[in-house]
Amino acid sequence: MKDVLRETGKLQEAERTLRWYAITNEVYPKPEVNGIDMDSFNTQTTGRIASILMMEDTPEKLQYLRSFSRWIDFGCRPALGLSGSFKVDGGAFHHRNNYPAYAVGGLDGATNMIYLFSRTEFAVSELAHETVKNVLLTMRFYCNKLNFPLSMSGRHPDGKGKLVPMHFAMMALAGSPDGKEEYDSEMASSYLRLISDPSIENDSPEYMPKVSNAEERKVAKRLVEKGFRPEPDPQGNIAMGYGCVSVQRRSNWSAVARGHSRYLWAAEHYLGANLYGRYLAHGSLQILTAAPGQTVTPATSGWQQEGFDWNRIPGVTSIHLPLEQLQAKVLNVDSYSGMEEMLYSDEAFAGGLSQQKMNGNFGMKLHEHDKYNGSHRARKSYHFIDGMIVCLGSDIENTNTEFPTETTIFQLAVTDKAGHDYWKNYQGDKKVWVDHLGTGYYVPTPIRFEKNFPQYSRMQNTGKETKGDWVSLVVDHGKAPKNGSYEYAVLPQTNETLMKKFAKKPTYKVLQQDRNAHIVESVSEQIISYVLFETPETTLPGGLLQRVDTSCLVMIHKGSADKIKLTVAQPDLALYRGPSDEAFDKDGKRIERSIYSRPWIENASSEIPVTVTIKGQWNVEETPFCKVISSDKKQTVLQFSCKDGASFEVELRR
């Protein structure tokens, strides 16, 4: 086409037109900060590179290429605050939150450009390359196998959103971030795992980039011929401070917890999208599972949209409302936003800790926005210890005397004869439950089981009535609860015999469960997990950790009498300090405001010092984030410098 345009004398006109259309001149100024909007990666990269490549080979073309490469490079680096697109923890941002549904389009542009410039003088920096690689590896960890978790689906909670394997292929072909290896082995093995099951239904939403099976097979053949093989299912734990997310993985199952805070919204609603998903990030816990060896999907995990009660998102503590009252009342609240709803808490404490990327915890102070039920509060925590998740709640309260408050342990679709036969004959024994998918629940708290065949609900985008067969297990806190609480443990991929054995002798102890702290000890794993909502005023239970000087998350793993691993995280992102920046009406109620109107959204995360006192004298190798304040026979005092909601760990030896 370039030759044809040149021959007809229209090449220069076409160049200028395309550069104007793609706003290519925007790449000339050197970027002042890291990051660009995710939409720029999605919609502008192809047009801009095309407008440059069609130019004649001149110094001007070289200048454009260098400027465009620099624009891509800075755009791929970790962005500050709530700016797009990519974060130090693997988050992928749009609309001021981790947003995989937008990220798949943006990553299409980013990975294609990284590949295009690889092994040339225009290659992006190692930092930019490594950042995008980490975003993809993180995405393949929280997705299972391909699907986004329900709570991370943005305004599309329909179970259809997926990652795009071809992004991993492009990064594999681009080589290692340092440029020393022709292929990136991690990305190659990730890609081969993600495309290893051709039976997966390709019911992809319209916003996802389209890739043919033939293209996928062609790249896979090339990588296999180079000696690469699929990786096993990812194992371990991650905590995403910029997503308010924790994920635990064992075998082929994953457990995904999500909350919200004064920095990160709970749910995004449009007039025709996510009408009922208000509670998606109210401390939810989704178990994504399938029979060992099978591919995990929303369907194998007991989820479908038909008949799903949007009040009963697993893990959530919520007021069980009629759907008419649960439906979002979408408004245009200011000049910074459109017709949308993205509500925030006024609490800064929400997020997770990950120890050695193997175990972790998650905690949040839940406070619903005054637009709906501002009196609704709870303190919630999850403790991820190997194949067990201990779930605690306390200080559950609200003033709603019309409808009951519930904590949902599970809500599962029953879609086949085997499932119907299972629940037809099933008899729970109050404390021990095993669902038809093989997930076990130990519940010392009084509960209520419901079997609704059928159960009626509505589509998230149209409000059209749906129905399906569902079973639910809930803790009923009653109407207008005060000081409500719950305790249960989830053990995926187990059986009745093992659960009854577990119930007789649980492998964990709850050391504290109140508004100040949720503390859990696993004797078998030698782990103590601390979710400290408030600054402790007395010595903490558990022995080793005696005090901290602020609210935080802590995990201690006792490797031996002479060696422990100490991990500390401050879930407060600290994009600003002091009281929450709420505006109030004449009645003292918080006013709905858009996130785009907040002056702090592009601020860097500030460091928060966390001082930790450990019983006894320990030797610690200091790091840039951990300093020894004092050490004697009685105690060792350490100060951690925490930021980005990240986890910081040190090894203590005698």
- 522/456 same-domain check: yes
Whether 600 is in a domain gets the answer: no
- 175/309 same-domain check: no
Q: pTM score > 0.95 for this model?
A: yes
- 114/8 same-domain check: yes
Answer for the pair 332, 221: CB distance below 8 angstroms, yes or no: no
Answer for the pair 480, 400: CB distance below 8 angstroms, yes or no: yes
Whether 60 is in a domain gets the answer: yes
Per-residue pLDDT reduced to its tens digit, 313-329: 999 999 999 999 999 99
Whether 543 is in a domain gets the answer: no
Whether 252 is in a domain gets the answer: yes
């102890």: which residue's tokens?
509
CA-closest candidate to residue 309, choices 483, 166, 471, 137: 471
pLDDT greater than 70 at residue 199: no
| Cis status, amide bond into 234, omega within 30 of 0 | no
CA-closest candidate to residue 233, choices 155, 143, 359, 125: 143
- 215/256 same-domain check: no
| Cis status, amide bond into 85, omega within 30 of 0 | yes
Whether 546 is in a domain gets the answer: no
Q: Domain range spanning residue 272?
A: 236-528
Q: What is the CATH number of the domain that holds 194?
A: 1.50.10.100
User: Domain boundary residue among 476, 508, 528?
Assistant: 528
- 275/365 same-domain check: yes
Whether 444 is in a domain gets the answer: yes
- 217/247 same-domain check: no
Q: How far apart are CA 301 and CA 330, in angstroms?
A: 31
- 8/63 same-domain check: yes
pLDDT greater than 90 at residue 550: yes
What is the model's pLDDT at position 202?
A: 63
pLDDT greater than 80 at residue 203: no
Q: How far apart are CA 91 and CA 134, in angstroms?
A: 9
Q: How far apart are CA 49 and CA 35, in angstroms?
A: 18
Phi then psi dihedrals of residue 582, to 5 deg: -75, 150
Angle between helix axes 126-142 and 165-173 (nearest 10 degrees) is: 150
- 468/505 same-domain check: yes
pLDDT greater than 70 at residue 421: yes
- 400/494 same-domain check: yes
User: Domain boundary residue among 486, 508, 528?
Assistant: 528
Q: What is the CATH number of the domain that holds 476?
A: 2.70.98.10
pLDDT greater than 70 at residue 198: no
The beta strand positions in 332-464, using DSSP E, are: 341-342, 350-355, 359-367, 377-385, 388-397, 404-413, 432-434, 440-442, 448-458
Per-residue pLDDT reduced to its tens digit, 480-512: 999 999 999 999 999 999 999 999 999 999 999
- 402/519 same-domain check: yes
What is the model's pLDDT at position 234?
A: 98
Whether 191 is in a domain gets the answer: yes
Per-residue pLDDT reduced to its tens digit, 506-533: 999 999 999 999 999 999 999 999 999 9
Whether 276 is in a domain gets the answer: yes
DSSP 245-263: EEEEEETTEEEEEE---SS
- 432/479 same-domain check: yes
- 346/302 same-domain check: yes
> Percentage of the chain surpassing pLDDT 70?
99
Number of domains in the chain: 2
User: Domain boundary residue among 528, 559, 592?
Assistant: 528
Answer for the pair 636, 628: CB distance below 8 angstroms, yes or no: yes
Answer for the pair 241, 645: CB distance below 8 angstroms, yes or no: yes
Pairing state between β 350-355 and 359-367: antiparallel
